[in-house]
Amino acid sequence: MTAFDRSAFRGSFVALITPFKNGKVDEKAFQALVEWQVKQGTHGLVPCGTTGESPTLTHDEHKRVVELCIEAAAGKAPVMAGTGSNSTAEAVELTHHARKAGAQAALVVTPYYNKPTQAGLYAHYKALNDACRMPVFVYNIPGRSIVDVSVDTMAALAKLPNIVGCKDATGDLTRPAKTRLTCGADFVQLDGDDGTALAFNAAGGVGCISVTANIAPKQVAKFQEAMMAGDYAKARKLNDELMPLHHSLFIETSPGPVKYAAGLLGLCEPDMRLPMVPIQAASRKAVEAALERVGLRGKRKPR
């Protein structure tokens, strides 16, 4: 049993976008976004994940964004810093930095492109467990990384003291139940897809690392709180209201749609870095319609 308090990692954790302006990280907009998230009731903050365009951040920018998030959060919400890489040594370095900067946990994506075996995946995370004295979450996203951490491998990792949970973006809704049975009820399972969060939590999950929370943090937090309270009737109602927004924010590859929505709401510029490009006109109309449907269109947030 680990000494880490796992109860802090539940509810709505926002997969933060990284605002850019004139080609650089917009530090002011990013910290304003973090402060707004905390005020809106978001339960946790995840900088430098896929939604944060981590593949195109330099290492210095990556570390700076983590530091900015921790500073702006000011201890009011836990920070789970994205620290993954397809190089184990780089993942260890980024995780060490996150711990020293004051993050409460690390989110480590499965190594992409080099396509390790299950033995390689275990060795990768064991190296992180052995080198880094902080809670580590396995980010399993086969759709982007090509590799899938099997249930058996996850069970082996769950026995390591610093591997406390996972972000499951497999889309397989049998996974949370299987993982709960093999890894134990205290292994923290967070969904990686807003649209499946209701079913995921019902089967053993305790929250979601949410893209939609960038745009509708209060509504997503209330949805997660309803499930934590066991009020699934309320959760279903909130889920129905949010589903059009969930769908529209993935109408093209994320974070294109959510960056466009953030621009409409005045949260930041919609700028992305190549090879990500602005979303198409039809997709813009879909995002606008979804914002209108959930009552967010025209409500510009303070910067």
Three-state DSSP class for residue 115: coil
Residues 6+ apart with CB under 8 A from 16: 30, 33, 34, 37, 45, 46, 47, 49, 51, 52, 69, 214
| 198 within a domain of the structure (yes/no) | yes
H helical segments located in 74-206: 88-101, 118-131, 142-145, 151-158, 175-183, 197-202
| 88 within a domain of the structure (yes/no) | yes
Alpha-carbon separation of residue 135 from 28, 191, 262 (angstroms): 29, 17, 30
| pLDDT for 177 | 98
pLDDT for 25 beyond 70: yes
Quote the mean pLDDT of the chain.
Answer: 96
User: What's the predicted TM-score (pTM) here?
Assistant: 0.95
Share of the chain above pLDDT 90, in %: 95
Query: Could you read off the pLDDT of 269-283 as tens digits, one per residue?
Result: 999 999 999 999 999
Specify the CATH number for the domain of residue 57.
Answer: 3.20.20.70
The tokens for 196 are 């499946």
| 53 within a domain of the structure (yes/no) | yes
Q: Residue 299 — pLDDT band, cuts 50, 70, 90?
A: low
The rounded distance, in Å, linking the Cα atoms of 194 and 212 is 7
Domain total for the chain?
Answer: 1
Q: Residue 4 — pLDDT band, cuts 50, 70, 90?
A: confident
By C-alpha distance, which of 87, 55, 83 is closest to 162? 83
| 93 within a domain of the structure (yes/no) | yes
Which sequence positions are flagged as catalytic? 139, 167
| 59 within a domain of the structure (yes/no) | yes
| 296 within a domain of the structure (yes/no) | no
The tokens for 54 are 């981590």
| 118 within a domain of the structure (yes/no) | yes
By C-alpha distance, which of 186, 21, 6, 171 is closest to 80? 6
The DSSP call for residue 212 is: G
pLDDT for 1 beyond 60: no
By C-alpha distance, which of 260, 261, 255 is closest to 275? 255
Query: Could you read off the pLDDT of 162-209 as tens digits, one per residue?
Result: 999 999 999 999 999 999 999 999 999 999 999 999 999 999 999 999
Torsion sign over Cα 101, 36, 190, 86:
negative
| 201 within a domain of the structure (yes/no) | yes
The boundaries of the domain holding residue 103 are 9-231
